[in-house]
A and B are shown apart, each in its own frame.
Chain A
Amino acid sequence: MIKKFDKKDEESGSGSNPFQHLEKSAVLQEARIFNETPINPRRCLHILTKIIYLLNQGEHFGTTEATEAFFAMTRLFQSNDQTLRRMCYLTIKEMANISEDVIIVTSSLTKDMTGKEDVYRGPAIRALCRITDTTMLQAIERYMKQAIVDKVPSVSSSALVSSLHMVKMSYDVVKRWVNEAQEAASSDNIMVQYHALGLLYHLRKNDRLAVTKMLNKFTKSGLKSPFAYCMLIRIASKLLDETEGGHDSPLFDFIESCLRNKNEMVVYEAASAIVHMPNCTARELAPAVSVLQLFCSSPKAALRYAAVRTLNKVAMKHPSAVTACNLDLENLITDSNRSIATLAITTLLKTGSESSVDRLMKQISSFVSEISDEFKVVVVQAISALCQKYPRKHSVMMNFLSNMLRDDGGFDYKRAIVDCIISIIEENPESKETGLAHLCEFIEDCEHTVLATKILHLLGKEGPRTPQPSKYIRFIFNRVVLESEAVRAAAVSALAKFGAQNDDLLPSVLVLMQRCMMDSDDEVRDRATFYMNVLQQKQKALNAAYIFNGLSVSIPGLEKSLHQYTLDPSEKPFDMKSVPLATTPITEQKTEIAPIATSKLPEKLAPSRQDIYQEQLAAIPEFQGLGPLFKSSDPVQLTEAETEYVVRCIKHTFARHMVFQFDCTNTLNDQLLQKVLVQMEPSESYEVIHYIPAPSLPYSQPGSCYTLVRLPDDDPTAVSCTFSCTMKYLVRDCDPNTGEPDDDGYDDEYVLEDLEVTVADHIQKVLKPNFGAAWEEVGDENEKEETFALASVRTLDEAVGNIISFLGMQPCERSDKVPENKNSHVLFLAGVFRGGHDVLVRARLALADGVTMQVTVRSSEETVVDVILASVG
């Protein structure tokens, strides 16, 4: 009674929040009235609301107090007040994880779910499924099946959605309800139809045939629910993608037909699906683009946003397809929703002509401060793409970027700008000095250690080769004085590079180094002392090995080797060559045009692919004693796609052996394969030593078998070999549904495609940041030179690509990019040959009626030079 007056008092203070000063303990105290008889529904309702409100605000309830309140709440099931009962369901759902013994309400909920009051039934099902686990699910299975096909839509929908939630937990039970779901899918109610379709797909998504059948059925019969249509479009496009079905498939026709649906949601979903399909031709895109164009002038902001965002995606791959929409996009650049305006402008930057760039950049700079960081990153990415397209515009861009760099912004945004500037510098030598100047200015006041060290590294690399290297010294040394340890250490390394490359700067660098040797941080002092001593020797080779081109080993590998070395002490010094080399990332600083969803995952130092293989192989007893893993190739497919068995091979190279790892997948659900191995017949003097079969290969679970091969010792030049491969195994037929195999099986074999080992498998890529220094370091002791004519090659680009993929070496100094309109080019390649011998290749290419190539090879080992020249020829 008194509470009513309280409520009235609160009322008088208008604008206050009746829930603002709730105390958890007071509310729980109040909850005692749940036990009073008769039940006062109004007051109880209010208290339940308060409890849910508190939970929603993040108030923590201890298990005991939550359980106490929960048990008190169960009494309220005696009341027949509708809203109160509904709030009880909500409380049950909210407390399912914090209270103990929530299953106490199972019988009450089961009663409501099967009772006469339709208003209770749906919500009761959802609450019940929230507190049910796999074992209890069996007990209510009968009711669930009935509920799924119930004629009341809310009951059916609730049952379907709850089943979907439970698929994760008890797939096997829910799977049995597929017939009921099928029946519900033909319901007249649009939501029931949608939910049934969703559940059916989740139950069948691993069975491609069933999904295809389901799609056929629904695309023919048609659906009422726009949501269901969207779902169907997604399923269809996923299936198209997986089966790599051509665009003449009925599925594509279905998606295209949805472009004419009367609901905008469906039309947009279809257009977006088409846009996201790989390998779409301009003609196939056209209808999708034209509906998106219509949406651009919609009064609804969400629709305009959706349209322009999708057009932006199209423009990345097919700028010409979007040109037709340029006028509509122009109208959007002043849109009051800045997200829409930004997307419109970045799209126009991709589709427009060079002349419109200045105008668009001006427009965008007028509101760049208003948009969120995510969109600023989009702008930067657009600029980055633009610079590649119109290199001459780099001064406008550079100016714009440097202004953006001065603005406030988060780390992702700043990193995008810095990356963009760096890529411009690398693409356009003439922009190098302005770019470096902007970056120098940026690190003067940069709170992100990662960016500062990155820029210092770049300065160390590029600065010494500029006409006036001395002006960067001041910026770098400022960092030594002002910044954190990591930045100071990076600055010291950068200084050393200046000293090593510019003789006239060396004395001053040495003076600065001396000051750094008194730094308070160990790492900084160590680096300074080390560089000081190296620089004082004034030897080119030392500089090259220890200042320009750092360690090229894999860091986790080094850690492991050192640990191993300390475990069994020996007189021998630690051999650096026993450490596996780092695999250089394949995508090297290519300006990626990532979708706007910038991943938020923190970048951690994941072990590379090769480190993982090393670990896996080391676990197999037969492969111990092979030494460290030298190189692992990319997977090679040995079967056609869509065959009974899918086999791919990864070639692992060791110092004297090779291990072939065959990843096999069995795609027949009525077979179990056992003792699977791949027999190999070498064409050269390679010797197969050992087979390690995969013990068992059940349906769709990949397994690996291995073959160990010894490389010929007597002939080091025999680097290439062809193996004919046959997979041998024991087949046991089994029941497709249960996977239960028959008792006996029979031997069978399956011929695979031939496997080639080439020179590339013996060479590991190593990036030498300063190729010239490395070239001098190796010296001309084992240098050999030969000239070849590549008659079949038409362009320099093609020749460069061929050489790189053939030798499997790392292009250095960005020499893999051939400048336009040149007739000659020099390609620098670096690598390490099996056994740990550095090898460098310089290929001079000249274009005249085919390509003529002069190859110069240097290595620390003479045979390696011969091997390479022999294989090229």
Chain B
Amino acid sequence: MDSTSLEPSLYTVKAVFILDNDGNRLLSKYYDPELYPSMKEQKNFEKNVFNKTHKADNEIAFLEGMTIVYKSSIDLFFYVVGSAQENELMLMSVLNCLFESLSQILRKNVERRCLLDNMEGVFLIVDEIIDGGVILESDPQQVLQKVNYKLMSEPAYGFVLFDYITGNLEGQTDRSQLL
């Protein structure tokens, strides 16, 4: 009975991670210091989760005593982990918010290359959605407003070169307006 009753707490998310299609970690945050304290355990867990989930897009799984909701997009896999007793829909709302926000800043190109080129934006978005395991925000529009992040997309490098040639190196702050 004890295992079924949930201590009321704001600490909903145990971990969140983004893997590529080989199961490599691109970003991961663990919020519960007791859950996989060492890097080795974390990576083992991620590998296990990836092996069990990458074949079928099933949205939800239960592994190593943890509820895991996930979503894939082209060559990326997004995971949100909560305890076995956690409200699955709460975890889902975190996952959706993460995915929607990223999809917006990446202009729907939710794939590995584009994500890595905008890694700082990804870090900031995760930071705005979850703080130490507490859901800070679940509305993608609010997240984007708070992050206020400008896309660094491929065509921009043409301008970078242009900037370089014209010697206008510091002028790139307004770059996105040119796009």
Q: Are B63 and A595 in contact (CB under 8 A)?
A: no
Residue of A41, A87, A300, A301 contacting most chain B CB atoms (<10 Å): A301
When C-beta atoms are compared, the residue in chain A nearest to B122 turns out to be: A49
Among the listed B28, B58, B148, which residue makes an inter-chain contact with A337, where contact means beta carbons less than 8 Å apart?
B58
> In the docked arrangement, what's the CA distance between A1 and B164, Å?
8
Contacts of B131 in A (CB 8 A): 126, 158, 161-162, 165
With a cutoff of 8 Å between Cβ atoms, the chain A residues found around residue B132 in the complex are 161, 165
Of the A-B pairs whose beta carbons lie under 8 Å apart in the complex, a sample of 12, sorted by A's number, is A56-B28, A154-B146, A158-B136, A191-B137, A227-B138, A231-B8, A241-B5, A268-B87, A303-B89, A306-B88, A337-B56, A599-B65
Interface residue A201 (Cβ < 8 Å from any Cβ of B): yes
Chain B residues with Cβ below 8 Å from A268 are 87-89
A774 CB → nearest B CB, Å: 37
* Majority SS at the chain B contact face: mixed
Flag if A8 contacts B157 (CB, 8 Å): yes
Report whether B59 and A313 are in contact in the complex, using a CB–CB cutoff of 8 Å.
no
Contact A265 B136 (CB under 8 A): no
A235/B8 in contact, CB under 8 A = yes
9 additional contacts (CB under 8 A) given A126-B131, A597-B85: A154-B142, A158-B131, A227-B90, A265-B89, A302-B69, A302-B88, A338-B56, A372-B62, A595-B84
Judged by a CB distance under 8 angstroms, whether B93 is at the interface is yes
Complex interface: chain A residues within 8 A of B9 (CB): 198, 202
A759 within 8 A of B: no
When chains A and B are docked, how far (Å) is the Cα of A8 from the Cα of B159? 12
Contacts of A201 in B (CB 8 A): 8
Residues of B within 8 A of A339 (CB): 58, 60-62
A610 within 8 A of B: no
Question: Does A302 lie within 8 Å of B146, measured CB to CB?
Answer: no
Chain A residues, CB < 8 A from B88: 268, 302-303, 305-306
Task: Note all chain B residues with C-beta closer than 8 A to A520.
Answer: none
B87–A265 CB distance below 8 A? yes
Q: Which residues of A contact B138 (CB under 8 A)?
A: 191, 227
Instruction: Tell me if A194 is interfacial: C-beta within 8 Å of chain B.
Output: yes
Interface segment out of the listed A78-86, A250-258, A384-392:
A78-86
Contact assessment for B62 and A40 in the assembled complex, using a CB-CB cutoff below 8 Å = no
Q: Does B92 contact A (CB under 8 A)?
A: yes
Contacts of B69 in A (CB 8 A): 302
Contacts of B166 in A (CB 8 A): none
Known: A264-B89, A302-B88, A374-B62. A90 touches B127 (CB 8 A): yes
Bound-complex Cα distance A4 to B168 (A): 13
Of A14-22, A400-408, A505-513, A699-707, the segment with at least 4 beta carbons within 8 Å of chain B is A14-22
- A313 contacts which chain B residues (CB < 8 A)? 4
- Give the residue of A40, A83, A93, A154 whose beta carbon is less than 8 angstroms from that of B120: A83
Residues in chain A near residue B7, CB distance under 8 A: 234, 238
B88-119 contact mask (Cβ, 8 Å, vs A): 1 or 0 = 11111100000000000000000011001101
Question: Which residue of A has the minimal Cβ distance to B55?
Answer: A370
Is A49 a contact of B58 with CB atoms below 8 Å? Answer: no
A50: nearest residue on chain B (CB-CB)? B119
**Taking the complex as formed, is A829 at the interface, i.e. its CB lies under 8 A from any CB of chain B?**
no
Is A230 located at the chain interface by the 8 A CB criterion?
A: yes
Which of A4, A338, A375 has the largest count of B CB atoms less than 10 A from its CB?
Answer: A4
A48 at the interface (CB under 8 A from B): yes
Interface string of B141-171 (1 = CB under 8 A from A): 0100011111000100100110010000110
Shortest Cβ distance from residue A385 to the other chain B in the assembled complex, whole angstroms = 17
Report the Cα distance A154→B141, complex, angstroms: 13
Contact of B160 among A4, A19, A235 (CB under 8 A): A4
- B148 pairs with A161, CB closer than 8 A: no
Across the two chains, which residue of chain B brings its CB closest to A57? B25
Q: A8 with B161: in contact, given A82-B148, A234-B8, A300-B59 (CB under 8 Å)?
A: yes
Q: In whole angstroms, what is the CA distance A375 to B84 when docked?
A: 13
Given contacts A7-B157, A56-B27, A191-B137, contact A305 B60 (CB under 8 A): yes
Within the complex, the shortest CB–CB distance from B30 to chain A, in Å, comes to 11
Q: Using Cβ atoms and an 8 Å threshold, which residues of chain B touch A40? A: 169-170
* Docked CA distance A374–B56 (Å): 18
B148/A597 in contact, CB under 8 A: no
B134 close to A195 (CB less than 8 A) = yes
Give the distance in Å from the alpha carbon of A268 to the alpha carbon of B4 in the complex.
15
A18 and B116: CB pair below 8 A? yes
Does B179 touch A at the CB level, under 8 Å? no
Query: Is A319 interfacial (CB-CB < 8 Å)?
Result: no
Within 8 A of B (CB), among A324-381: 336-339, 372, 374-375
* Known A123-B127, A272-B87, A302-B69; contact A164-B4, beta-carbon cutoff 8 A: no
7 A-B pairs closest in CB distance: A198-B10, A58-B39, A301-B59, A597-B84, A234-B8, A265-B89, A337-B58
B173 in contact (CB, < 8 A)? yes
Q: Is the CB of B62 within 8 A of A49?
A: no
Beta-carbon nearest neighbor of B85 in chain A: A597
A838 interfacial contact with B, CB 8 Å: no
Whether the Cβ atoms of B149 and A83 lie closer than 8 Å is yes
Are the CB atoms of A19 and B62 closer together than 8 Å?
Answer: no
